[in-house]
Amino acid sequence: DYDRIIDNADEAIFRVEAEGGHMVYANPAAERLFGYSRAEWLADPALGFKIVHPDYAQTQRQIIEEINTTKKPVKNVTLGWIAKDGREVIAEYTIIPVLDEEGNILYFESIGRDITERKRAEQMLVEEKRLGELLLDSLPHPAMLIRRDRIILAANRTAREVGAIVGGVCWQEFAHADYIPEQHKRYVRDHGCAPPDGSHCTFCFADEALDCQAFTNNPQVYAFDRHWDTRWVPLDDEVYLHYSIDITERIETEEELHRSRERLAEAEKLASVGRVTARIAHEINNPLEIIYNYLKYLKFNTSDNDLRETVDDLHEEIASISNIVSNLITFSDSKKSGNEDIELNELIEKMVKMVKFNAQKKNIKINFSSAKETIRMRANKNEIKQVILNLMKNSFDASQKEYILDFCPLPKRLHRVPRISTRVLKCRRRP
């Protein structure tokens, strides 16, 4: 009965004498597994050593030495062999020393179970895992394979640098429990462990992706002081790929672009207002000049003192209006910026026309002498206008009686900068 059981077993069973290593028995399963007949096994005592796979030869020697030393069975050791047809065979062995009454080893009995397919499957899994890790590591963004219960199965280098630990919980190790609901944070603080029903980040869509078996993403997540486009890709019912793309620079660029567009729109609005204001101001100046001249004519052609005083009051109001118009033009021009090409003669002539009402009010005559040559410069036009205006106003303020103001740009240059010359000349009172 014992021999029948051994002969019909699926495991390869050998019996080898301790003295000399002669094979004394090999069951039919051993013949099927390795391709050698029982006669071949028995005829070549060293066959078991000859066909061992080179990768396992050292392991085989160590096992024999261990059994000879301890005289105890060795269980579940893996050994590889080369079958007669060249196949690689992986078997899981239990080797038992059979002792005599004095404790000496008489022979070894080994029972080997074919695990070749299992080992190949395991190797494939290892290779797939390695390939998966290589693929994950090739991503420049944090990427992880995660189970539904939020256990990390694999993580790329970028995610590991942030804190991801294979076997750890993603919301705890990777996200440091910073983004779970507040009640879960309190539970973790109070108990030092995860809530009984687990937790997840508030922005996580993993359950939705697994339940729908569809790609899911949250395009706007702010975490770790950065902006992320976060994605969940289901691989099966329980495992998903989670990765996040850093979009901080894109968001900042879009925000800056939005601000630039707002500034441009505001500048265009102000420019439009400035153009309208300048046009209105220039239109007001023309009738003001006519009114001023008529009032001046009226004043010097009447003997009515009351009327003359009234005309003076009107002159003062006209000067005030002229000053307001001047400020409007300055305001509209101030909305323009940057350097531009300027012809100084033309600019001064325009400024003289702008202030002539104030000059006439103070009985100041402005003589503008244009330079003989064109004076061009590149500068901020508004700033140059303000300088010229200040020169004129300072000259007005220094005048107590009737004066003639000579205003002339000089082509002469000091350090390559055009100069403006002004002279205030006392004169007779005009009739």
Domain end among 73, 93, 114: 114
Give the Cα separation of 358 and 396 in Å (integer).
Answer: 8
Give the Cα separation of 44 and 413 in Å (integer).
Answer: 114
Q: What is the mean pLDDT of the chain?
A: 82
- pLDDT per residue as tens digits for the range 239-289: 999 999 999 999 999 999 999 999 888 878 877 777 777 777 777 877 887
Q: Computed over its alpha carbons, how large is the radius of gyration of the chain?
A: 51
For the cut 60, the answer to whether the pLDDT of residue 412 exceeds it is no
pLDDT at residue 333 in the model: 59
Averaged pLDDT, 59-71: 91
Report how many domains make up the chain.
4
**pLDDT over 90 percentage in the chain:** 34
| CA proximity to 108, closest of 93, 98, 99 | 98
CB of 112 closer than 8 Å to CB of 90: no
Domain end among 53, 87, 114: 114
Computed from CA positions of residues 290, 296, 298, 301, in that sequence, does the dihedral angle turn out positive or negative? negative
3-state class (DSSP) for residue 191: helix
Which residue do the tokens 């003192």 mark?
305
C-alpha distances out from residue 92 to 81, 109, 356, Å: 11, 14, 112
* Tokens read off for 120: 């190949």
Q: What is the reported pTM?
A: 0.44
Domain end among 114, 139, 160: 114
Same domain, 226 and 266: no
Cα 185–Cα 188–Cα 193 angle in degrees, nearest 5: 150
Give the Cα separation of 99 and 90 in Å (integer).
Answer: 28
Same domain, 134 and 219: yes
Same domain, 103 and 195: no
Q: How many helices (H) and strands (E) does the chain have?
A: 13, 15
Averaged pLDDT, 407-419: 51
Same domain, 130 and 219: yes
Same domain, 357 and 430: yes
